[in-house]
Amino acid sequence: MSYFTVVIPTFNRGHLLERALRSCLAQEFTDWEAIVVDDASNDFHAISSAEVVSRIGDPRVRLIFHEENRGVCEARNTGSRAAQGLWLIFLDDDDTFVPGALVAIHHATERAGSGIHRLVFAYRDDDDSVSPRPALTEHAVWDYRGYLEWLERVRGRSDFMNCIHRDVLQSICWPRDRSREDLFHLELARRFRTECHSDVVAIINNDAANRFTAVPGYERVLSMAPDLARQMVAILNEHGMALRTFAPRTFAKFLRHAAINNYMAGHWRRGLRYSTALVRHRPLTLSAWGVLLFGILGPRPTAAVVALAKRRVGAGYRKETASA
């Protein structure tokens, strides 16, 4: 058994995968394995993940293929099931460890008490800004309420590096569809305790055209809507009461996403139910009333508006970080 398993999903990005793997090879701490999960890459004009792993030539690096594309979270599930490490670290193929990252994470896991099952660390963006914002408080411990209250304070990027004990991944998993990570983090927080560290251990590189976290276009927004709608409903059913109590602004965000994605998925009545709940929760905000209009627009016009809004938000974020 290795001490760490680094799980790296990849899709059509062999040139970036090699950079991520070489950042693993450059670590002083050597008791690790890396599991690359190729999510059915189909760009046969580019360097393949198999070529990259062969060129790396390190027995600690294993490669698993999906026969069909399932999305980044399912790729993480595949890597988690194959992992032999005590602690699992999740690294996207366009990100890289900083020098000394695994030494710092190892020291943190060694110092963590037996009640800690996840440790989170900071990222540095390639423009030198740090995520998440506000910064993680060193040695702060999140229980369920603590995580919800932290969500409520987030005003900028919320990305952090996850180092998760293997026992956690035997009881919960990442989403099995193309939805986001929100439900996974909420379930983990409800069942396990997390320790925060302010150390920057990885760099978010923004040089990939098809980034997992890139602002999606119209067609992708529409195709993801059914999965996102189901996840938002599950979040509100399982965590709605706690969110309303300890994170009312975040509760409103999930109501908004539930309404809009149900409208885009063609579930008009369900969308109306959540948009009405949002108005009752935030009756004095124009945005809450605006969500009601999406039901009138219909799925495709709503998707076009959402995609345009996401592009504007993404452009604003890039401008903000560039001037930070």
Give per-residue pLDDT as tens, 178-199: 888 999 999 999 999 999 999 9
Q: How confident is the model at residue 304 (pLDDT cuts 50, 70, 90)?
A: confident
Q: What is the pLDDT of residue 215?
A: 47
Ranges of H-type helices in 120-213: 144-153, 166-169, 182-191
pLDDT of 56-104, one tens digit each? 999 999 999 999 999 999 999 999 999 999 999 999 999 999 999 999 9
Q: What is the pLDDT of residue 316?
A: 39
Q: Which amino acid is at 152?
A: E
Q: What's the whole-model pTM score? A: 0.90
Q: What is the pLDDT of residue 288?
A: 87
3-class DSSP assignment, residue 111: helix
- pLDDT higher than threshold 70 for residue 312: no
Q: What is the pLDDT of residue 216?
A: 56
Residue 203 phi/psi, 5° resolution?
Answer: -110, 130
Collect all residues with Cβ–Cβ distance below 8 Å to 205 and sequence separation of at least 6: 16, 19, 94, 95, 96, 126
Q: What is the pLDDT of residue 324?
A: 30
Instruction: Spell out a b/e string for 157-173, using b for 16 or more CB atoms within 10 Å of the CB, else e.
Output: bebbbbbbbbebbeeeb
Mean pLDDT of the chain: 89
pLDDT of 25-61, one tens digit each? 999 999 999 999 999 998 876 789 999 999 999 999 9
Q: How confident is the model at residue 299 (pLDDT cuts 50, 70, 90)?
A: confident
Name the residue among 187, 179, 158, 171 with its Cα closest to residue 71. Answer: 179
Q: How confident is the model at residue 276 (pLDDT cuts 50, 70, 90)?
A: very high
Measured CA angle at 109 (ends 105, 115), to 5 deg? 145
Q: Which residue has the higher pLDDT, 88 or 128?
A: 88
pLDDT of 235-264, one tens digit each? 999 999 999 999 999 999 999 999 999 998
Name the residue among 120, 48, 37, 118 with its Cα closest to residue 73. Answer: 37
- pLDDT higher than threshold 80 for residue 225: yes
- Cα–Cα distance between 246 and 146 in angstroms, integer? 9
Q: What is the pLDDT of residue 318?
A: 37
C-alpha distances (whole Å) from 322 to each of 126, 212, 318 are 10, 21, 6
Q: Which domains does the chain have, with CATH numbers?
A: 4-204 (3.90.550.10), 218-322 (no CATH)
| Mean pLDDT on 278-293 | 89
Query: What are the beta bridge partners of residue 118?
Result: 164, 194
Q: What is the pLDDT of residue 220?
A: 77
Crossing angle for the helix pair 286-297 and 299-322, nearest 10 degrees? 140
- Signed CA dihedral, 282, 277, 317, 19: sign only: positive
